[in-house]
């Protein structure tokens, strides 16, 4: 398997050149079904458009063709992290404070391998999470194996677009009309 750190070092400058923050670079699958997954976001919106994904995909393809760091065939998947996004950088735990997260630890802490609760913030390289029926727990960023936001109504509300097809929310007379417009989009 290819070193993810090496791939990240090749891909990060391409994302940055387009003004994007790299969220995650991950290889998964096996022989004949290998996927290079790249997640990025615009710092202001925390998402990417389809055109953004296409632009980044082309840049990554060019670099990968030139450097050829992956010996076997693979599929390139470029996307926005989505609503229930992975938390891969220390700043993610700070940015998403007051939202629910699920953290899988690299090893057990206080008899727990998985923590699900409300993120409370970051102090240095330490993450604090409020666990139901347990209270506050602080762990090191280096203890995080895998983490992602949990899809909740509060998260949906926090990431909901401010407009529907260019129409500002205040132009809707009531919340029901706005919700109907959002449903009509999808």
Which residue reads 């500002």 in tokens? 168
On the question of a common fold for 4-79 and 90-151, the answer reads no
CATH class, range 4-79: alpha beta
**Full DSSP string of 138-185:** EEEGGGEEEEEE---HHHHHHHS-SEETTEEGGGSSSHHHHHHHHHHH
Question: pLDDT digits over 71-113, tens only?
Answer: 889 999 999 998 889 999 999 999 999 999 999 999 999 999 9
Domain locations in the chain as residue ranges: 4-79, 90-151, 155-185
Predicted confidence at residue 1, as pLDDT, reads 62
Closest CA to 147 of 98, 108, 92: 92
Please say whether the structural domain 90-151 has been given the CATH code 2.30.30.180: yes
Query: What's the mean pLDDT in 118-125?
Result: 96
Flag whether pLDDT at 178 surpasses 50. no
Question: pLDDT digits over 130-158, tens only?
Answer: 999 999 999 999 999 999 999 999 998 88
pLDDT category of residue 161 using cuts at 50, 70 and 90: low
- In the chain, pLDDT over 90 holds for what percent of residues? 72
What is the distance between the alpha carbons of residues 91 and 21, in angstroms, rounded to a whole number? 12
């Amino acid at each position: 398997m290819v070193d993810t750190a090496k791939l990240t070092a090749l891909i990060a400058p391409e994302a940055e050149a387009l003004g994007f923050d790299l969220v995650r670079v991950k290889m998964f699958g096996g022989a004949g079904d290998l996927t290079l997954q790249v997640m990025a976001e615009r710092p202001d919106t925390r998402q990417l458009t389809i055109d953004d994904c296409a632009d980044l995909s082309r840049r990554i393809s060019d670099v990968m063709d030139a450097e050829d760091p992956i010996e076997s065939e693979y599929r390139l998947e470029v996307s926005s992290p989505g609503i229930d996004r992975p938390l891969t950088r220390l700043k993610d735990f700070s940015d998403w404070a007051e939202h629910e997260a699920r953290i899988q630890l690299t090893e057990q802490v206080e008899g727990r391998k998985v923590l699900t609760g409300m993120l409370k913030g970051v102090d240095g390289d330490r993450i604090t999470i409020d666990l139901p029926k347990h209270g506050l727990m602080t762990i090191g960023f280096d203890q995080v194996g895998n983490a992602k936001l949990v899809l909740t109504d509060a998260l949906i509300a926090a990431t909901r677009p401010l407009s529907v097809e260019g129409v500002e929310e205040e132009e809707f007379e009531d919340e029901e009309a706005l919700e109907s417009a959002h449903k009509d989009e999808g």
